[in-house]
Amino acid sequence: MNKTFKSFSEKIFKCNKCDRLVNFRNQVSRKKRKSFKNQTYWNKPVSGFGDYKAKIILVGLAPAAHGATRTGRVFTGDKSANFLFKCLFKAGLCNQSNSDHINDGLKLYNTFITLALRCVPPHDKPKSDELKNCSKFFKQELNMINNKKVIVALGKIAFDTCIKFYKKNFNITGTFKFEHGKSYEINDIIIIGCYHPSPRNVNTKKIDIPKMVNVFKIAKKISAN
Ligand code: SF4
């Protein structure tokens, strides 16, 4: 990890700004899931992961309670991660189809993954003030990925977070609606909506592997232009 990202990540790890989320994070990490009872949970906010020179950025909602809140790496160690990495691997954007723990050898190709919110919210439902508190990290991180050309927003909250970022920081106006596969060009960046790889979306077949791989292949093509 380069120095700038290291010190930025360390700043994120120390953040305790949102009382409700800090309490929930502590509660999840203390109680643990039965199958992980012998593990020590990360129990800190989660930073972005991947290639800092990437042209493709993926934006998720927040760390999962027993995924990244436990392992300390975004989309790692839960069902959403299993699905996401199967798709990223099929699209040729990473070196392996699994993301289990921080020492599993995972490498992303030309891709960086980050989050709208760095701490797990109860029932995966963040409050607007919590998203606002965390937006400073989103802004700083996005600004550090200088080569970005395309953003894939995983779910409506991630999509709205990206739109807010561009509206606020680049004086963009207009209406932008989240739809799977729909893309917008904003300030030289293409933002593509994509259903989140959550177990609920996968089980109800809202998203499946071909649909998600297709979005990643489009992102890859845009990044090559
Ligand atoms: S959600 Fe973001 S702003 Fe809130 S405590 Fe976590 S890192 Fe800090």
Q: How far is the CA of 12 from the centre of ligand 1 (A)?
A: 8
- Top mutation candidate among 61, 133, 136, 138 for ligand 1, by most atoms within 8 Å of CB: 133
Which of 4.10.220.20, 3.40.470.10, 3.40.47.10, 3.40.50.1170 is the CATH number of 3-34+45-224? 3.40.470.10
pLDDT at residue 2, rounded to an integer: 81
- Top mutation candidate among 29, 119, 120, 137 for ligand 1, by most atoms within 8 Å of CB: 119
pLDDT at residue 225, rounded to an integer: 84
Using CB distances shorter than 6 Å, the residues near ligand 1 are 12, 15-18, 21-22, 45, 117-119, 130, 133-134
Residue holding tokens 């709208």? 116
- Top mutation candidate among 11, 14, 16 for ligand 1, by most atoms within 8 Å of CB: 16
* CA torsion through residues 146, 152, 157, 160, sign: positive
Predicted confidence (pLDDT) per residue in 66-113, tens digit: 999 999 999 999 999 999 999 999 999 999 999 999 999 999 999 999
For the chain, state the CA radius of gyration.
16
For 3, list phi and psi in degrees, rounded to 5. -60, -45
* Domain regions of the chain by residue span: 3-34+45-224
SS3 51: coil
Quickly state the pLDDT bin for 26 (edges 50, 70, 90): very high
Label residue 111 exposed, middle or buried (CB < 10 Å: 0-12, 13-18, 19+).
buried
Predicted confidence (pLDDT) per residue in 189-221, tens digit: 999 999 999 999 999 999 999 999 999 999 999
Distances (CA, A) of 89 to 4, 94, 96, 139: 28, 5, 6, 28
Over range 117-141, report the average pLDDT. 97
Distances (CA, A) of 167 to 149, 159, 183: 17, 12, 16
Return the residue whose CA atom lies nearest to atom 2 of ligand 1: 134
